[in-house]
Amino acid sequence: MKHRYPLLICTFIGALALLSLLLLLPATAQSSPATAAWQDKLAPELQEALASLPAGDKTPSTPIPVILYLTSQADLAPAGLPSDPTARRRAVVQRLQETAQQSQAGLLSQLDQLTAAGSVQHYHPFWIINAIALTADASALQTLAARPEVRHIGPDSPVQLERFDQSLLPDEAAIPTQIITGRGQSLPAGLSAWGIDRIRAAHVWRGLGIDGHGITVGIMDSGVDWLHPDLYGSYRGNLGNGSVNHADNWFDAVDWQNVAPQDPYGHGTHVAGTIAGQNGIGVAPGAQWIAARAFDDHGYSAFSVLHAAFEWLLAPNGRPELAPDVINGSWGANPLVSEFIADIDALNAAGTVTVFSAGNSGQTAGSIATPAGYANTIAVAASDSRDKIAWFSSAGPSIFTGREKPDLAAPGTRILSAYPGNRYALANGTSMASPHVAGTIALLLAANPSLTRPDLTYILTSTAIPLDPSFPNNLGGWGRLDAYAAVQTQLTAATGRVQATVRQAGQPLAGVAITLTTPAGAAIPFTTDAAGQFSATLLPDLYDLRASAFGYAPRHIPHVGVQIGHTTNLNIELTPLARGTLSGYIYEQDTLIPLPATIHLAGTPITVTAAANGFYSVDLPAGTYNLHIAHTGHQLAH
C-alpha cells in the first residue's frame, strides 16, 4: 500500500488537467451492453475518458487521481449505539473500520498487484466512508470498476479555499495602530473584535461563568500557528511546562512530515483565533483546539485530502475518545458536490457537530457551498456591523433539500483575529462568520454537554436576532447569532434575572446604557429597548448597576442581588440635567457666504445641519463641547 498524501497537492492539478485533455479526444469506440455495468459505475467524465481510447486498447495511459467507493456501509443508526459519549464514539469508529476491513480486503490485494504492474501509482484506503483514493491508468479503472463490491468511481477533484481577503496589521497604513501581541495584554485603542461584542460572548463569560472550558474544537483548515500568543495556551497539545503532544492533537493531511502545527497560508490561524483565542478575540477562550491541516500553502486541497482530515478528526491518532466536540469548516466546494455527506454522517453519529461557512459567491439563489448546503451541517452566513447580510455571502436554498439555508448568520466583515507570526489581521468572509458559531457551540456544550446537533441547531436559530421581517430565509436563515441568549437557555437552574424599566417623569427612556459590574470588576453592558426596559440573566451574586444617558444625571444602584430562580425587578428614574441652547452661524471665510454645514458634537449622539443661511441651534445639557464641523469642499479655518 502506498500513501499518496505527501505528493498529492503538487500532483493532482496536473493529473486533472490530463483528464480534461482526454475528454477532448474524439470517441472512437462505443460501449457494448456487456460493458455497460462496469462503465455505469464511473463518473461521466471518467466514462468519456475511457471512451476516448481506441477499441481494444488496454495499454496503460497517464494515471488519473480517482476515489473508488464501495457498496457496503456501516450501520450507524442511533438506536444501536451506546448512550455514553465516549463509548458511542468508539462504537462508531469500530463499525466503520470493521466494514471497511471486510469489504476492502479483496480490492486491496488487487491494488497491490496493479501497483506492482505499474497500472496504479498510489492508493490509500478510508474507513470513514469505505472508499479508496488512488492514482490509476484507464485499464486499471476498468478492472476495478468491474468488481462487484465497487459502487462508484469518481474523480479526486480539487477544492480551493475562498479568496482570503485579509489586511495584515500593523502594516496596513489605514489603521495607524501598534499591535500588542503579548498574552494577557489588551488590544490597542482603535481596534476590537467587534463580532465578539455583537454576539455578546463576553456576557456569557462574565455573567454566566461559561467560557468553553472542557470542550474541544477541531479546526479543519490550512493549519494553525500554535505558537501564536493568543492560541498557544488553548492548544490541547500544549501540556504545560514545555511539554507537548502533537500526535494526538495535530494532523497534516497535506504533508505528513509536518509533525507540529503550522499555517503557511494564514486562514486557519485566523479561524482558530475567533473560536478560542485569548486577548478578547475568541468566542470561547476557555475551550481547547486541535487541528487537521487540509489545505496547502496556497489554499488548495482535494477530495481525498479532505476525507483524510475528516477521518483523523473522528479518531485523532487512532483514538476516538480524543475526537473534538465540534468541528469548524471555513471552506466549501461546489453547491452540487455530495462528496462529504457520508463523512459528516459518521461524525454526527459519533456526536461531533460540524459547522460550515456558507461561501462567498454572492447572493444568487442556490449558491450556498457544500458541505454547508447539506441537511446534516450547521451553515453560517456573514453579517456586517450594521446587522445586514454581507454582499458576498452565498445564498440558499439547499440544492439537496430545497429548504432554507444557511441556518443563521454571524459577523463576517473586518473581523480581527490572530495571524501567523504573532500578528493579527482583519479579514472578510463567511470563513470568519462560521467560527463565531463554532465557538458559541463550545459555550453551549460547556453549559450542557448532553446537547445534540438538533438541540444545538434549534437553540442557535430560535435565539438568533432576526435580520429580516420574513424569516427564515435563504440569505441569513433565522437571523444573527446571539451567544448570550443561546447559552442562558441552558442555565435556568443556576441563574437568576434582573429586570428594570428606566423612566423620566413616567415616560420610558430608550437607549439608556446599563452597566452591571460583577464583584470581580467585570462590566456587562446592556441597553434599554423602546419600552425603556432591559433584562439580564446572571449568576447569583451582588452587582453594581449604573444607568446613563445623554442629557441625564447618571444613576448608581449598588448591591443589586441576584438569586437562583428569582427575578429582581427595578424601577429606575433618571433626572434631566439643566439645559441651554448652543447656536451660531457658519460662513465661508473669505466670501462670508453662509454654509449649510454639518455639526457633530463630539462625545454625544447629537448631529445637526445648519440652515441655508448658515444658522444652527441645538438644545443641550449645560457643559462644554467640542464641535466637528464639515461641509463639502471646505476645511475648518483657524
One-letter amino acid identity for 83? Answer: S
List 124, 267, 307, 436, catalytic entry: 267
- Best CA proximity match to 606, nearest among 555, 547, 525, 551: 551
Please confirm, yes or no, whether 556 is among the known catalytic residues.
no
How are beta strands 378-383 and 353-357 bridged, if at all?
parallel
Alpha-carbon distance values, 426 to 169, 464, 507 (Å):
8, 25, 42
**Residue among 153, 161, 126 nearest 65 (CA):** 153
Pick the catalytic residue from 221, 230, 263, 384. Answer: 221
Q: Is 221 a catalytic residue?
A: yes
Q: Return the H-helix or E-strand segment holding 105.
A: helix 85-117
Contact 452, 354 (CB under 8 A): no
CB 437 within 8 A of CB 410: yes
Active site residue 267: yes
Per residue, the 3-state secondary structure of 563-631, as one string, reads CCCCEEEEEEECCECCEEEEEEECECCCCCCECCCEEEECCCCCEEECCCCCEEEEEEECCCCCEEEEC
Alpha carbon distances (Å) from 543 to 518, 520, 536: 5, 10, 11
Q: Quick check: bond before 371 cis, omega within 30?
A: yes
Residues 391/448, Cβ–Cβ less than 8 Å: no
Residue 241 grid cell: 511546562
Helix, strand, coil share of the chain (percent; to 5): 25, 25, 45
Strands (E) located in 222-279: 238-240, 243-244, 250-252
Q: Which of 139, 417, 431, 434 is catalytic?
A: 431
DSSP state of 78: G
Active-site residue list: 221, 267, 431
